[in-house]
Amino acid sequence: MTAAYLPFFLIIYALLNAGAYLLFARDKRKAEGNAWRTPETTLLLSALFGPFGAYAAMRRFRHKTRKTKFVLVPVFAVMHTAVILWILVSLV
């Protein structure tokens, strides 16, 4: 990967994280209104691709913080951080 593609990837990555945040926020709103909920698999998949947005929403809305499988969200964030650091080091 060259540095020329970096802005494109940053925009996509920001959109994935924003999407995960909005998905978690919407699910919390639906939970409070006893409406149709987003499946947990969908939430976890969005967290896999946008872990920082998902984690921020979990903390902000106190949503899914007691569910055991959602311990994966911070793990995804650590994995993404490692990959981001590896990419930044390889660009230097």
For residue 25, what are its two tokens?
């926020």
- Whole domain around residue 38: which residue ranges? 3-91
Number of compact structural domains in the chain: 1
Cα–Cα distances (Å) from 91 to 5, 9, 11, 28, 80, in that order, read: 11, 14, 18, 39, 17
The model's pLDDT over 34-77, given as tens digits with 9 standing for 90+, comes to 899 999 999 999 999 999 999 999 999 998 888 889 999 999 99
Q: Per-residue pLDDT for 82 more than 90?
A: yes
pTM for this entry: 0.89
* pLDDT at position 3: 73
